[in-house]
Amino acid sequence: MATIPPVPDNTENFNHVFKLLQGEYPDAEPMLHFKNPLELLIATILSAQCTDKQVNKVTQVLFKKYSSVEDFANADINELGKDIYTTGFYHQKAKHIIGSAQLILTEFGGKVPDTMEELLKLPGVGRKTANIVLARGYNIIEGIAVDTHVTRLSQKLGLTQNSDPGKIELDLMELAKKEDLENLSMTLILHGRNVCIARRPKCGVCVVNKLCPSSEV
């Protein structure tokens, strides 16, 4: 079986690529709806393998039923699972939400942590979720949230030769200014959803097709 050659290194064009993409998505804002860091944490946990649109539909009801960290900490796992069923992997997500809420109460005084080290102690919270909570909940830029879109696009654009999210995060952090990391993540996510679609990339209308080593035009 023939192996697919790696995408050539294209990091020298990063600034040009990012500038063009920013022009396409000047208002790259988060799609998840939330009013505070706790709601953001819950919504981000629910967003794993689920669309933001569906998460927002679920949390519109969920955050009325569970309005505090105590509510989530004391929730019945089976009932919570039914409440979030349509987001997928509902039992594991319910377990993580309840466990995180309980730890927030016992270890962090009822407040969602605002440091990477502490957030990573919460059940089911990895660097992607932690970066999102820090950036959008506390305006603290620690790194860049690397989801499936960011992973795929950074590889196709030749901005990384890695497949591990942690290594991709480090690669992107070397390319972008710290204050631009949150915007870079959202911009790549939006481009992945709208143009560089996994199964049918719209290379013909892509604003960076001439700078993309994976372009099909």
In tens, the pLDDT along 58-94 reads: 999 999 999 999 999 999 999 999 999 999 999 999 9
Question: Could you tell me if residue 1 is inside a domain?
Answer: no
Q: Per the domain annotation, does 212 fall within a domain?
A: no
* pLDDT for residue 4: 54
**Pairwise CA distance, residues 200 & 131, whole Å:** 29
Spot the catalytic one: 128, 167, 171, 177. Answer: 128
**Which pLDDT value is given to residue 217?**
86
Q: How far is CA 196 from CA 14, 19, 40, 155, 202, in A?
A: 17, 17, 27, 12, 6
128 a catalytic residue? yes
CB 37, CB 110: distance < 8 Å: no
User: How many CA atoms lie within 13 Å of 17's alpha carbon, on the beta-carbon side?
Assistant: 25
> Structure tokens of 61?
């009801």
Q: Residue 179 has what pLDDT? A: 95
Looking up tokens 């669309």 gives 51
Domain total of the chain: 2
Residue 1: its pLDDT value, please? 40
Q: What is the pLDDT of residues 121-130, one digit of tens each?
A: 999 999 999 9
| Pick from 43, 35, 36, 31: nearest CA to 129 | 43
Same domain for 195 and 116: no
Closest Cα partner for 43 from 117, 5, 93?
93
Which pTM value belongs to this model?
A: 0.93
Q: Which of 52, 114, 147, 180 is catalytic?
A: 147
Q: Which of 74, 127, 122, 121 is nearest to 100 (CA)?
A: 122
| Within-domain flag for 184 | yes
* Average pLDDT along the chain, 217 residues, taken 10 residues at a time: 70 98 93 97 96 97 98 98 98 98 98 98 97 97 96 98 96 97 96 96 97 94
61 and 96 both lie in a single domain:
yes
Q: Is 164 a catalytic residue?
A: no
- Known binding residue 203? Answer is yes
Domain-ending residue, one of 115, 138, 161: 138
- The domain in which residue 182 lies consists of 11-28+144-205
At residue 29, the pLDDT reads: 86
Q: Widest CA span of the chain, in angstroms?
A: 56
Question: Would 125 be classed as within a structural domain?
Answer: yes
To the question of whether residue 212 is assigned a binding role by annotation, the answer is: yes
C-alpha span between 69 and 58 (Å, rounded):
17
